[in-house]
Structure 1
Amino acid sequence: MRLTDSRSRRLTPVRRGPGGLLRVCVHPAPAGRHDLLGDLRAMLVADVLFRIAELEDLQVITGHVERALPEERARALTGAAGRLGIHPPAVRTPDATVSAPFGGPVDVHVLAPSAAPPPTEDGLLVVVGPAQPPGGTDTPAADGADPSALRLALLALPYALPARITEAALAEAGATLGRWRGRVAAWADAPSRPMHADTVRRLGAAYDDDLDTPAVLEALRRLEDDPDVPDGAKFETFAYADRVLSLELPSEIGRV
């Protein structure tokens, strides 16, 4: 896997520790600056890294640099991350330059838009682009909206570029989710087939190329409409992709 290191501005292979161990640390906005969606976007990048590494049977340790937050803000961030299907950090530390909590040097530092880079030279430095929620408020999604729609809307954009999440973008993401969940449920009744090899190859290449999740979604759209691929193969491939995307695509299976 290669990520763009903000120090060199080059695609750089992700270093892994002994035994394939991957250590990832999220750096949120500094104390006194509230950027809920920016922090969530950084946590989402770390979550995608976590899921890809798990898919490859690697061990992953994710961490979060702690900062002083009002209790209400801290609860809002934790709750929003949980609703987006983001794994909670295994390590919480006031200083990511201290390797002891991670069992060694951090391999990937993921910085929220306004976060300061750590002084250490260890690991790749991945900077997430700023994200503007609907209406420019601090609320990442409309009340009652499917949290997975926000996750999909963020995954549909390159993580390093600015993202403006509009109500229209959330509505489009919600419509895509509804369609895909319905089709996955229908495909589940088809005879089982192996995953579509070409799509699986495209997914792997996209993940390895700077977490190109927009390319992943495009590959799934192409597969969805391919009349030459059996429904059973589509089901297996979409279910496989959801192990990283975590959009609850099989959630409609068995529902009347």
Structure 2
Amino acid sequence: MTLHVGPHALTSRAVHVHLAPGAGLRPLVVADVLRRVAERRRHRVRLTAAARFPADPADYNVRAPESLAPDTADVLISPAPAPGALLVPNETGAPDPDPLVTRLALLEAPYRVPVALTPETLRSAADRLARYRRLVAEWATSPGRPMHRPSAAEAEDALAADLDTPEALAVLDRLAGSGEIPPGAKLETFVHVDLLLGLDVVAAIGTA
């Protein structure tokens, strides 16, 4: 199945994603979600960068990019307008001490829209991530059930269509609030979708 991201269509089984010079944390996180979505659809993804990042990518659940020139990149991710590039504006403001709170705050807006890391946006992201982890820990004590495939498919389709991370998160919110879906199915679905979002929603399992 073809992965469509904005004007780009990744049709090759081997995909080269390159981060342009000057890319900050946000393009790095968006590139990582793109990699995860493409790999789930059985693409082989190479992530490279000309940028230097202000923190260790691994702290943000990002596989460190290779330090190579773009060559013939299938997708160029740039924080500034560039021919043929996927434009992902850099974040403004200081990141949260918890890198995954910052990651969530960066994913709560469409990748084309500027994001300011303010105390308010970071607090909201921290509350949301804590709620996800608390619910996942609670659901983990319930009988196991298969994941809710309609919700999983809805989130995957949003990410594959245009890296619509806000809609994928909205799917998780609706799933969490459903009174009809068993807790075990919610757990499996959250874990499945989180393999694409990279928020470590299972962090609180077993800590209660």
The answer on 1:48 being equivalent to 2:33 is yes
Return the offset for 1:158: 0.6
Q: Distance in 2 between matches of 1:140 and 1:49?
A: 21
Q: Find the aligned partners of 1:147 and 1:22 in 2 and give their Cα distance.
A: 27
Structure possessing the higher radius of gyration over alpha carbons: 1
2: CA distance, partners of 1:43 / 1:130:
9
Q: How does 1:196-211 map to 2 (within 5 A)?
A: 196-211=148-163
Match of 1:82 in 2: 58
Q: Distance in 2 between matches of 1:46 and 1:242?
A: 16
Distance 1:57 1:192 in 2: 28
Structure 1 residue matching 2:203: 3-state secondary structure: helix
How far did residue 152 of structure 1 move?
0.4
Select the residue among 91, 116, 136 that pairs with 1:184.
Answer: 136
Q: Which residue of structure 2 lines up, in the alignment, with residue 140 of structure 1? A: 95
Identity among equivalent pairs (%): 32
State how far apart, in whole Å, the 1-side matches of 2:127 and 2:55 are: 26
Shift, 1:209, TM fit: 1.8
Q: Deviations over 1:30-87 (max 9, x none)?
A: xxxxxxxx51111111100111122223321110125xxxxxxx5x6242x2221111
Give the counterpart letter for 1:173 in structure 2.
A
Q: Secondary structure at the match of 1:249?
A: coil
Q: 1:27 aligns with which of 20, 40, 65?
A: 20
**1:59-98 equivalences in 2 (<5 Å):** 59-65=44-50, 77-79=54-56, 81-89=57-65, 91-93=66-68, 95-97=69-71
Which of 70, 82, 92 is equivalent to 1:117? 82
- Name the Cα RMSD after superposition: 1.8
* 2:27/2:90 contact within 8 Å kept: no
In structure 1, runs of 5+ residues without a counterpart are 5-10, 30-37, 67-73, 98-104, 119-123, 134-138
Give 3-state SS (helix, strand or coil) of 1:110's partner.
Answer: strand
Could you tell me which residue of structure 2 aligns to residue 127 of structure 1? Answer: 87
The structure 1 residue matched to 2:75, chosen from 102, 108, 111, is 108
Q: TM-score, normalised by structure 2?
A: 0.92
Long gaps (5+) in structure 2: none
Paired residues, what number? 206
Q: Give the structure-1-normalised TM-score.
A: 0.75
